[in-house]
Amino acid sequence: MAQSSIPLTQNYAQQLDAADELAKYREEFYLLPSIYMDGNSLGLLSRRAEKSLLDVLQSWKELGIDGWTTGEHPWFFLSEKLGEMSAALVGAEPEEVIVTGSTTVNLHQLAATFYQPKGKRTKIIATELDFPTDIYALQSQIKLHGLDAEEQLIRIASRDGRLIEEEDIIAAMTEEVALVILPTVFYRSGQLLDIERLTKAAHEKGIVIGFDGCHSVGAIPHEFSKWGVDFAYWCNYKYVNGGPGCVGSLYVNRKHFGRVPGLTGWFSSKKDKQFAMEHTLDVCETAGAYQLGTPHMLSVAPLIGSLTMFQEVPIEKLREKSLKLTRYLMDLIEVELAGMGFSIANPQEDERRGGHVSLEHAEAVRICKALKESGIIPDFRAPNIIRLAPVAFYNTYTDVWECVQVLKAIMQEKRYEKFENKRGVVA
C-alpha cells in the first residue's frame, strides 16, 4: 500500500471537522452510541423526518378522511409534491419524478413498460454484479413474455470480480438488445458508472436504457434529463434518510410522457379525473402515470422532513464532503492497516467512486462482528467485503479516524477470532 503524507492524529481530524460547513446538520439527526458507518444501507433518523411523520399521524387523527385534500400536506397530492422536492437530486424536471412503490415494484413497472421485445430485439443487458432483486425482476419480466430468461438476460461479466468495464457493456449493445438496466453505483464495490456515456452509447444503437439509483441518489449529483436517461428508480431509505421501508421513487424522461405504463392502477390517472370512476383510464401525462394504488402515507411521511435538508444543501456540496470523507478513510486505511490483509476494492478515482469504501478481507464476517462489539456499525457483503459509508450529513472526520483506529486495534489484538465465521440473517 502507498504511503500517505496526511497527519494521522485525531487532532487533524478535529481540525477538518472544525472547518466543515455542513457540521451543523449533524445535530439534526438522532445519533447512536456507536459510530454509524452504515448509511448506505439505512440512513439515520432526523428530527425533521420524525416531525413530519408525527404531523401526518396528527392529520389523520384530527382530519380523518379529509386529510386527503386538506391540512398542511394533503395526502392526495403528496407523492407529486415530494417528486418535485426530489427532482434536483437527480437533475430532473419536477414532473419527471414521482415518489411511489419500492425499488423492486418500480423496476417491474418500468420493465413492463419499456421492455417490449420485437423481432430480433429481445435481450436485456444487466451485469453479474447487480443487486439480486434487479436480476430476479428482469428474469420475471422476460418469462412473462414467454421467453427464456437464461437466453435473453445478458449479464456482463466482471474481469476482476470487483468492477465492470464500461467498454464491455457497450460492446454488448447489439441489434439483439431491447433494454439496458444498470446500477448507477454497484452495491459491493462502490463503482460509479459513467451514466452519460452509457446512455449515449445505448441511444446510438436504438436501445432504451434505465438505471437503479439506490446507491447514489442523495449522495451523488446526476443530470438524468440533460443526459437523456430514459428512466430510473431508487429507494429513499439510504442516503435520503426516509426510514426503513420508506416509499421509493422513479424518474421517467418527459419524452415518454403520455405513454400508457405497462402496469396501471387508479393512481395512474390524471388527478382531476381519478374520482370519475370510469373504466377507461385517462392516463396522467407526467411520471405520476407510473403510480399504481393508494400511497402509503405513513411510509412516505418522513420524506417531507428529510427532503427539506436537501433543499437547503445542494447535492454538489454533499458530494464534495462525501468524497473528502471517503478519501480520508482510504488514506488512513492504506497507512494504519498496511500489512493486515486488507484491500480497497472500490475505484480510487473520485469520478468512479460512489459514497462508500469497500474493504476486502478474508475475515470480513468476523471483523464486522468485532467492529459492532467495539462501537462501530459497518456493513458486511458476502463473501469478504466490509462496507464503510461516512455520510456527509451526519458523519465526521473524527468518526472516520476513530473507525480506523478501532479496526487497527481489532487486528493487532485479534479480537475477531472469538467470533464465528458466519454472517447474520441480515448482514
Closest CA to 178 of 210, 140, 146, 156: 210
Residue 421 pLDDT class (50, 70, 90 cuts): confident
How many helices (H) does the chain have, and how many strands (E)?
A: 13, 13
User: What pLDDT, in 10s, does the model give residues 76-109?
Assistant: 999 999 999 999 999 999 999 999 999 999 999 9
Q: Under 8 Å CB-to-CB from 272, ≥6 apart: which residues? A: none
Closest CA to 172 of 164, 161, 163: 164
Measured CA to CA, the distance from residue 399 to residue 13 in angstroms comes to 9
21, pLDDT greater than 60 = yes
Q: What is the pTM of this model?
A: 0.96
**Placement of cell 390524471 in the chain:** 270
Residue 159 lies in a domain: yes
Q: Where are the beta strands (DSSP E) in 120-191?
A: 123-127, 153-156, 177-183
3, pLDDT greater than 50 = no
Domain assignment of residue 258, given as a range:
51-312
250, pLDDT greater than 90 = yes
- Mean pLDDT over 112-135 rounds to 98
User: What pLDDT, in 10s, does the model give residues 130-169?
Assistant: 999 999 999 999 999 999 999 999 999 999 999 999 999 9
**pLDDT recorded at residue 368:** 98
335 and 202 together in one domain: no
285 and 322 together in one domain: no
267 and 369 together in one domain: no
**pLDDT recorded at residue 163:** 98
51, pLDDT greater than 60 = yes
Annotated binding site: 103-104, 131-134, 212, 215, 237, 266, 294
Report the domain count for the chain: 2
Residue 200 lies in a domain: yes
Q: What is the CATH number of the domain that holds 394?
A: 3.90.1150.10
Closest CA to 212 of 320, 133, 296: 133
User: What pLDDT, in 10s, does the model give residues 341-398?
Assistant: 999 999 999 999 999 999 999 999 999 999 999 999 999 999 999 999 999 999 999 9
Domain boundary among 312, 347, 380: 312
Residue type, 135: I
> How many residues in total does the chain contain?
427
- Mean pLDDT over 218-231 rounds to 98
Annotated binding site for pyridoxal 5'-phosphate: 103-104, 131-134, 212, 215, 237, 266, 294
